[in-house]
Amino acid sequence: MKQKIIGIQGGEGSFSHSAALKIFKNPKIKFCSTFEEAFLLASGKNDINLVLPSENTIAGRVPGVHSLLKKYSLQIYREHFEKINHNLLAVKGAKLDSIKSVHSHIHALGQCQKFILDRKLKEVVESDTAYSAQYVAKKKNKQEAAIASELAAKIYKLEILKSKIEDEPGSNVTRFLVLGKEPKHPKFVEEINFITSAIFQLKSIPSALYKALGAFSGYGINLCRLESFSLKNTFKQVAFYVEIEKHIEDPMMQKALEELGFHTSDLTICGCYAADSYRLNN
């Protein structure tokens, strides 16, 4: 069986890397420095999927993903919820009391403020958590530490001085999306919960958003996410990203989308996929 190629944003040992290893069995990982680099990678080939973070329970939406989703017309195949545990990593022989500075991504540092302030540590912002672990491993300075994943500790041969140092243990969850170029969706089964994602732009008329959302309300369809984001090179218009709790082939959904089309100047279906069990149980 051919090894699946998966593109992620971030380095070896990042939380995206960890999520990809849980979603796919023995994947071949392509590490990308930016989200756009990852989208470019997948937009050129049908056999490459992406695993990218969409939002986090603490940090909120990941900037840029929605606009790139529209720009490159990729499809969402699956969602995956990953619990994030932040760990303090250092070289072998380092002690917790000897650490003076901590390196990590700005979001990871922000999510561990109580620990950092209590220890009076100097914060050093890095491009991602994996690079922070790599940096600490190369420097071999027992006064420097990184906030990163257990996978990063294993890859870079670092010791975990303290695990779960986040301010809100157990409540830090990142939602990842699996994306690809080929348009496809699972078979419609009434007993299964599905999510359909779409991006639309409204016609420039009064009450356009109210009327657009009424298309779903009128057919008893629930929206589980609605977000606006700016389009490139204009202040006149925004786009809306919406997640709808229906399969695209559901008859009621078809009627709602038809009505939505009357109030939009552009409507793009970004994918239809089964709702993750985490969503249903939390």
Contact present, 171 and 57 (Cβ < 8 Å)? yes
pLDDT digits (tens, 9 = 90+) for 42-87: 998 778 999 999 999 888 888 889 889 989 999 999 999 999 999 9
Mean pLDDT in the chain?
Answer: 93
Cross-strand pairs, 110 = none
Tell me which residue of 74, 36, 28, 72 sits closest to 177, measured CA to CA. Answer: 74
pLDDT band at 230 (very low <50, low <70, confident <90, very high): confident
User: How far is 88 from 131, CA to CA, in rounded Å?
Assistant: 14
What's the pLDDT at 199? 95
Domain 194-281 in the same topology as domain 5-83+172-180: no
Q: What is the pTM of this model?
A: 0.91
pLDDT band at 233 (very low <50, low <70, confident <90, very high): low
pLDDT band at 282 (very low <50, low <70, confident <90, very high): confident
How big is the chain by its Cα radius of gyration, in Å?
21
Alpha helices in the chain (DSSP H): 15-23, 35-43, 65-72, 106-110, 113-119, 129-139, 150-155, 208-217, 251-261, 277-281
User: How far is 241 from 200, CA to CA, in rounded Å?
Assistant: 7
Look at domain 87-162 and name its CATH class.
alpha beta
Phi, then psi, of 119 in degrees rounded to 5: -95, -5
Q: What is the DSSP string of 69-130?
A: HHHHT-EEEEEEEEE---EEEE-TT--GGG--EEEE-HHHHHTTHHHHHHHTPEEEE-S-HH
Report, at the CATH architecture level, how domain 194-281 is classified.
Answer: 2-Layer Sandwich (3.30)
Fold of domain 5-83+172-180 = D-Maltodextrin-Binding Protein; domain 2 (3.40.190)
- Sequence ranges of the domains in the chain: 5-83+172-180, 87-162, 194-281
Kindly tell me if the per-residue pLDDT of 184 is higher than 80: yes
pLDDT digits (tens, 9 = 90+) for 4-54: 999 999 999 999 999 999 999 999 999 999 999 999 999 987 789 999 999
- For residue 257, the 8-state DSSP code is H
pLDDT band at 238 (very low <50, low <70, confident <90, very high): confident
